[in-house]
Structure formats: structure tokens, C-alpha cells
Amino acid sequence: MSGHVYVVGLGPGDECHRTPAADDALKRARHLVGYGPYLARAPARDDQVVHASDNREELDRAHHALRLAAGGESVAVVSSGDAGVFAMAATLFEALEAQGGEECGITIVPGVTAMIAAAARIGAPLGHDFCAISLSDNLKPWETVLQRVRAAAEADFVMAFYNPISKARPWQLGKVLDLLREVRAPDTPVVFATAVSRPDERIAVVPLAEAEPGMADMRTVVIAGSSATRSVPRAGEGVWVYTPRRAGAASA
């Protein structure tokens, strides 16, 4: 009898942002599969088997989960944020296609992705049209990253950048910020949201002219405003950032 794979988004960090559906899927699974630090956010019961692997072993992880499920096991593949946003859901279907089709049940369980959590912390920067772009060139050419950023900037989207920087590619976010400065005004708000909802959360809002790569790490999502995005003073200190829903809204 075939088993079932649940691909589970754990949310941005704090378990308060993990959905009841995600908790239910984790309870149903006998096997927990994923990147080690993510599995640490979903502690296993004594009757569950944990299969931890490295961050760059996504496809092997997906094949392993499908093999377990084809043998009758219930499996939860965990991702941070939402499993369908730059995460394991797409990889699972890539593995499924490679093996020629479905041999088990599959359920994708949504989660709160980083840009949504970050936007809620700072206001409503995603209030009008926006897009999400991963700056990692591990799975696509760097030229493609730049083409997409330029196209989105020229179309005046708010942009959420995932995977903005790492030890292996410390220069790429700087290139993207330089590109944005060619298109956007110097006072465009840029949000650096790091480790949202975790104990070491750090949020900074700076004008594009002052945005620096050193403000981000791999736990950061960067949100660059559109020409309509603006700031409102916050009680105490800091600002709220929002993008009006109505295109062409007059500036305050």
C-alpha cells in the first residue's frame, strides 16, 4: 500500500506563525525529512524517524521522501516559510516527474513566507503589485537574475529579494542595488528584514541611496519599494512603510 508525502511550510521562525494544518501534517508523518536547521524547528517524537541532510541536497531529499512514501510510509518534508516559494515543493515535483509519475499521495501544506512576515512587521509594502526574486545563482545564471531585476524595476514593481547574499557570493546584492539606483529615486524605501519572528530579529528601513549589502545575510529578505512606496512616522521611533493600493495615489 502506498504512503503519503506532506510538504510542509514551517513559517518564518516562531511557531506561532506555523499553521494548524502544518502541525497536523507533522503529527501524521512517521518520517521527517529536511535540512537540519529546519528539522530542529519541528522536534520529532520518539516514534518518528528524522532524515537530516545538507542545504544543497534538495533533489536527493525529494527522491528519498518519494521512495519512503512509495513503500507505504508517511513522510513530512519540511521547509522554512512556504514550501512552494523557493523551497521543497517544486523540487519534489521535479523528482516526481523524473520518476515518471505519482506512486503515493502528495499534499502541499502552505506556510507564511518570509516576505509576508517581513511586510507585516514594517507595514504594508506589498500593498500593490509586487514580485519575488531569488538572487541566488546556484540554479539559474546570474545574467538571468539581473534581467529579471531590471525588468521588474522598469515595470515599477515592489520587489522582495530572497537569498540576497552569502559567503560564496557577497557581491551580488551590491550589483542589484546599483541597478536599482539607475531606475529608482534615491529616497525609495528599502527594508532589510532579518530572522523575522525569531529572537534575533532585526529590521532596518533605509533610503535606496544608503542601502548597503552588509545590511543583509542569508536570513534576510530585502524589500525594495516602487515609485509609489512611502513611509509614515511611527509612534516612538522608526517608520511604517506602505504601498498604496490605488495606482497614481497622490503623495502626502
pLDDT digits (tens, 9 = 90+) for 43-70: 899 999 999 998 888 999 999 999 999 9
In order of start, what are the domains of the chain with their CATH numbers?
Answer: 4-112 (3.40.1010.10), 115-242 (3.30.950.10)
Task: State how far the Cα of 252 lies from the Cα of 249, in Å rounded to an integer.
Answer: 9
- Which residues, at least 6 apart from 102, have a Cβ–Cβ distance to it below 8 Å? 96
Q: What percent of the chain has pLDDT over 70?
A: 98
The answer to whether the CB of 213 falls within 8 A of the CB of 204 is no
**Residue 103 pLDDT:** 84
Could you tell me where the beta strands, DSSP code E, fall in the chain? 4-9, 31-35, 49-53, 74-79, 105-109, 123-124, 130-134, 158-162, 189-194, 202-207, 220-224, 230-233, 239-242
pLDDT digits (tens, 9 = 90+) for 87-97: 999 999 999 99
Answer yes or no: is pLDDT of 169 > 90.
no
**pLDDT-based confidence at 252, cuts 50/70/90?**
very low
> Closest by alpha carbon to 125, among 227, 35, 38, 17?
227
Name the DSSP class of 105: E
pLDDT digits (tens, 9 = 90+) for 129-163: 999 999 999 889 999 999 999 999 999 999 999 99
pTM for the model = 0.93
Answer yes or no: is pLDDT of 246 > 90.
no
Q: Which three cell numbers stand for residue 32?
A: 521527517
Mean confidence (pLDDT) of the chain: 94
Q: 239 has which bridge partners? A: 233
The answer to whether the CB of 244 falls within 8 A of the CB of 128 is yes
Task: State how far the Cα of 163 lies from the Cα of 166, in Å rounded to an integer.
Answer: 8
**Residue 44 pLDDT:** 92
**pLDDT-based confidence at 191, cuts 50/70/90?**
very high
What mean pLDDT is predicted for residues 106-127? Answer: 97
What mean pLDDT is predicted for residues 192-208? Answer: 96
